Amino acid sequence: MAGKGTIAILTGGGDVPGLNPAIRAITIRALRDGYRVIGLRRGWAGLVDLVPDDEADNSENMIDLTEDIVNRAGRTGGTFLHTSRTRPTHLPKGAVPEHLRSRYTQDINDVTPDMLKNIEWLGINYLIPIGGDDTLSYAQRLSHEGVNVIAIPKTMDNDVPGTDYCIGFSTCVTRTIELAHRLRTTAGSHERFLVIEVFGRYAGFTALLPTMAGAADRCVIPESPFDVERLTELMVHDRDRAPSRYSVVLVSEGARMQNEDEMSFEGTEIDQYGHRKLGGIADKVSAKIKELSVKYNKGRRINVVNQRLGYMVRSGDPDALDSIVPMAFGNLALDLVERHIIGRLVAVRNGIYDNLPLDVVTGRKKVVDVERYYNTDRMRPIYDFHRQPIFIMTSDE
């Protein structure tokens, strides 16, 4: 063990561009400050599956990080530590590793006692998880159990409470704008509606910000159930005004039509955090506006280009902001380590780098303030920017 102790890093939940730059920043700073740094593989799964035995092969669960390793990875997207949606408090019986099966026999198990033993066995002095509110909710649990946790927010949806910005959001917005503009050529060539489904389970930031930037004429978001007939009317109006006779709507995956009780799901399978895989709302919207277009287009039907962006916005290299912010977050985390300030979330608040108690991640939901930022009748953003930070909607809504 290095002179100052051991720092462990993990990444959980969905991959986003910017994770590797964060790992790089933490590792280089920590090594030069005299710490040993280990990477835990596959999020919380690396700690779940770890065998606390010197003779065991734990190469699938952890790795000692060096400057050479993180320098090569730091310029790339995704996470070289890999990731998962493992939830140690809700581990299905079939996911319990073989060496723990005699102790955990229920259908759903809380393996936290062995997580704590593994953290102690590894000699981890500080744990830095990088993830969304699901991953960080378990980090909060470990913090309450006495583990020295300093967390970094990551999610394309930008919906971790307490911070204006989460790693991955800028690249997501950048890609959404770019891909929406590419798809315009097909929509315009055929004089169609263009319906684009984007990420956003509970929060509509990934639809609202690109629409503000001109990627779409309209957007529908999870925070406000929408009238699909009104949307059709607006889309026909936009199409009539466009020289190439097409119009564009961004649809958050978690959006719902009025009178629908739940979101649109791909199947019935539920992950360990209780989430079903979203998808299909754009298909519903496309079919409905195509059907209703006859009413608003002088009896003629308007066809639809329907595209789900999906993993295209979360793959590949980070943009400039998702290279810079993770670097800053990593160094801010090490500042807290050096001062032994623990149980904190590194954050951006009102455009300023900051940190706050980790408990904020489970205290409330971060969603779009509809009254302030979204015109529910016009289904488009409210353009109010005076004294707002760069990403408009702050963590204090």
Q: Which residues contact 113 (CB under 8 A, 6 or more apart)?
A: none
Give the confidence band of 295 by pLDDT, cuts at 50, 70, 90. Answer: very high
Whole-angstrom distance, CA of residue 381 vs CA of residue 249: 12
Q: Which residues contact 110 (CB under 8 A, 6 or more apart)?
A: 88, 89, 90, 91
- Mean per-residue pLDDT for 37-43? 98
pTM: 0.93
The CATH number of domain 170-313+370-381 is 3.40.50.460? yes
| Domain 6-167+316-363 identical in fold to domain 170-313+370-381 | yes
98 contacts 119 by C-beta, under 8 angstroms: no
Q: Where are the domains of the chain?
A: 6-167+316-363, 170-313+370-381
- Which of 22-36, 167-181, 362-376 comes out lowest in average pLDDT? 362-376
Residue 394, pLDDT above cutoff 70 = no
130 contacts 154 by C-beta, under 8 angstroms: yes
Pick the CATH number of 6-167+316-363 from 3.10.105.10, 3.40.190.10, 3.30.450.90, 3.40.50.450: 3.40.50.450
**Closest of 360, 397, 322, 330 to residue 166, by C-alpha:** 322
Give me the catalytic one of 15, 114, 134, 157. Answer: 157
Known catalytic membership, residue 64? no
Identity of the amino acid at 39? G
Residue 392, pLDDT above cutoff 70 = no
245 contacts 191 by C-beta, under 8 angstroms: yes
Give the total residue count for the chain.
Answer: 397
